[in-house]
Amino acid sequence: MWGININGEPIRLDEWDEIFANQKVQDGLEFTRNTTVDLVIDRLLVSKADQKRLAEAN
């Protein structure tokens, strides 16, 4: 799952259009200079070449 948190409000990117079309979040969402936006990655695909390197980094 990919998503973002805007001021702590989680929004799934695969539901972005539906959420804003229905105004579930839009009314309470205001972007200002102090707005925080965090990218959320639930899963990460790692190539075979990088698996060993990442395992060694632990």
Give residue 40's pLDDT. Answer: 86
pLDDT of amino acid 6: 83
Residue 24's pLDDT is 55
pLDDT digits (tens, 9 = 90+) for 18-50: 777 766 555 566 778 888 888 888 777 788 888
CB distance 2 to 41 below 8 Å: yes
pLDDT at position 29: 66
Q: Based on the number of CB atoms within 10 Å of its own CB, is 49 exposed (0-12), middle (13-18) or buried (19 or more)?
A: exposed
